[in-house]
Amino acid sequence: MEAWFAVLALVAIADAASISGSTHFDTIVVGLGASGTAAATELAHAGKRVLALEAQGRVGGRVNTVSLPGDSLVEMGAEWIHGQDSSVTYQLALDNNVTVLRQELNTITLRSDGGVVDAAFMEDIMNFAMPLMEEDPATPEPLGAFMTRRIKSYIKERYPSFYADEDFIQQLLVFIDLIVDSHVGSNNWNDSTTHTQYVTLGGNQEMSWHVYGYKTLFEIMMNTYKNGPGLPSLTIELNKEVTSIQWPQDSESKVVVRCKDGSEYTSDNVIVTVSVGVLKERHASLFSPALPQDKVDSINGIPLGVVDKIVLLFAEPWWPKDTFMGFVWKGEDREKVPEEDKWTTMILGANPPMSCERALTLWTCGEVAKHMETLSEEVVKAKSVELLEKFANRTIPKPVGFVRSTWYSNPYTRGSYSFDSLTSPSHPSLRPSLASPLTDSAGKPRVLFAGEATNPIHYSTVHGAVETGRREARRLLGQ
């Protein structure tokens, strides 16, 4: 158990002792990711007696700050604060005198034959391509089709000699597709739509918690940062998998929450903050009475993407400082890769995280990420080293550390973050419908929902998740 989790566990034990074995609370919060922690702490600050039940042995959800040998930190989940203007996460850092820094990376685009793509060309193409993600053509269409058309037209006009190399253009588009997928969470850029409700916050999109780690956000919210005393009315229970939420139709009965270990708790209401992936898998058995059909339709209609990281730790850096190395294959090289290793050809690239200059993070997403999670650590590490050697065109040192994320196979996440699919434009109420509470006969909210997927404009982000946790807490406080 990492030190910060140990601190939180001690807080939980102390808080549990303070309630003298009581099993009734004002509110139970299911899940202690960004939204659940925001909801629980908002209510606790207001003096409400809150029980937070977390299925995993740590706080953080899809934020996971991991310690590597040598006291280095890396983020296996959320990496950056995306935007500064009106960002609740950025503001919490400022309010607590935590310096967050912009991560500025140089970019070098490597070829599978050991060559390097012209830097000026790549800079111009990416400066043209990435803003296309936020354009909204009159008729919604697959994002990939829209971007492919525009990018090819731009290259044909500006760079006819590059355009004449059909294989290069094809492989370049695969590379840009992977960049888009890592942003959106999609398996393929044609799985997402040009028409999206997402709103980008102003300011830099890659603000890093660097040596502090994203875990600091949770320490701030829970009042444990710099050895803070925590929140007296908040009880935290880790390794508590909720298996049943029985919510009443009448206004006199209590909500009953049961856990896998046989424990049972009651409350006036419950805030459910598990991922939409977990809801897809478990809603039928989790809720009694069953969820109404519009809620089920929302759960089924919101896709949850997968973005995974493979992190290699080295004794010292061997790559250019502060550099993202992008991987653009040659078609013939891609074809030569054995079928069982084809997944490596869909790794976007690698860069050092700001929190650890001796580490390299390799990025993968979608079905390739799901496949990577099924392979042994030895295979993933060995093939990642082979990939780096191929594109760096040199022998590299043996890694001294390795860790990877497994967001899809983790039964308590089942993915990384949600996105808008091709059907989203015709179903604009999916996220608001998921966010709407279940009420009793008197109109009181009994089951409330939070999480990044319930945010209509800031989904897929930590700040969006925090906003939804606060939203539901304030809904209850407003009662």
Give the count of beta carbons closer than 10 Å to the beta carbon of residue 219: 22
Q: Per the omega criterion (within 30 degrees of 0), is the bond before 137 cis?
A: no
Q: What is the pLDDT of residue 9?
A: 42
Single out the residue of 328, 448, 355 nearest to residue 70, CA to CA. 355
Question: Taken in order 42, 48, 54, 58, is the CA torsion positive or negative?
Answer: positive
Tens digits of per-residue pLDDT, 82-106?
999 999 999 999 999 999 999 999 9
Check whether 1 has a pLDDT greater than 50: no
Contact present, 197 and 456 (Cβ < 8 Å): yes
Check whether 16 has a pLDDT greater than 50: no
Q: Which helix (H) or strand (E) holds 147?
A: helix 143-158
Region 232-261: what's the mean pLDDT?
97
Region 292-299: what's the mean pLDDT?
98
The dihedrals phi and psi of 398, each to the nearest 5 degrees, come to -70, 130
| Burial environment of residue 333 by CB neighbours within 10 A (0 to 12, 13 to 18, 19 or more) | middle
- Strand-pair category, 255-259 with 242-246: antiparallel
Residue 381 CB partners (closer than 8 Å, separation 6+):
310, 312, 399, 402
Q: How confident is the model at residue 22 (pLDDT cuts 50, 70, 90)?
A: confident
Amino acid letter at 116? V
Query: C-alpha angle 113/119/124, rounded to 5°?
Result: 125
Contact present, 453 and 275 (Cβ < 8 Å): yes
Single out the residue of 156, 83, 90 nearest to residue 125, CA to CA. 156
Residue 265 CB partners (closer than 8 Å, separation 6+):
23, 24, 25, 28, 51, 53, 256, 257, 259
Region 133-159: what's the mean pLDDT?
97
**CA 215 to each of CA 135, 268, 369: distance values in angstroms, whole numbers, following the listed order:** 34, 30, 24
Check whether 18 has a pLDDT greater than 70: no
Residue 448 CB partners (closer than 8 Å, separation 6+):
269, 270, 271, 272, 437, 438, 472, 475, 476
Give the count of beta carbons closer than 10 Å to the beta carbon of residue 424: 21
Q: What is the pLDDT of residue 232?
A: 97
Single out the residue of 167, 133, 107, 141 nearest to residue 349, CA to CA. 107
Amino acid letter at 77? G
Q: How confident is the model at residue 364 (pLDDT cuts 50, 70, 90)?
A: very high
Low-confidence winner among 10-19, 327-336, 378-387 (lowest mean pLDDT): 10-19
Q: What percent of the chain has pLDDT over 90?
A: 94
Check whether 3 has a pLDDT greater than 50: no
Q: How confident is the model at residue 69 (pLDDT cuts 50, 70, 90)?
A: confident
Q: Which helix (H) or strand (E) holds 219?
A: helix 215-221
DSSP state of 189: G
Check whether 19 has a pLDDT greater than 60: no
Q: How far apart are the C-alpha atoms of 302 and 25, rounded to whole Å?
A: 31
Check whether 4 has a pLDDT greater than 90: no
Q: Which helix (H) or strand (E) holds 242?
A: strand 242-246
Tens digits of per-residue pLDDT, 210-227?
999 999 999 999 999 999
Q: How confident is the prediction for the chain on average, in pLDDT?
A: 95
Single out the residue of 419, 446, 441, 439 nearest to residue 430, CA to CA. 419
The dihedrals phi and psi of 350, each to the nearest 5 degrees, come to -145, 145
Q: How confident is the model at residue 21 (pLDDT cuts 50, 70, 90)?
A: low
Tens digits of per-residue pLDDT, 416-433?
999 999 999 999 999 999
The dihedrals phi and psi of 47, each to the nearest 5 degrees, come to 90, 5
Q: How far apart are the C-alpha atoms of 188 and 177, rounded to whole Å?
A: 7
Helix, coil or strand: residue 362: strand
Q: What is the pLDDT of residue 17?
A: 35
Contact present, 199 and 458 (Cβ < 8 Å): yes
Q: What is the pLDDT of residue 14?
A: 39
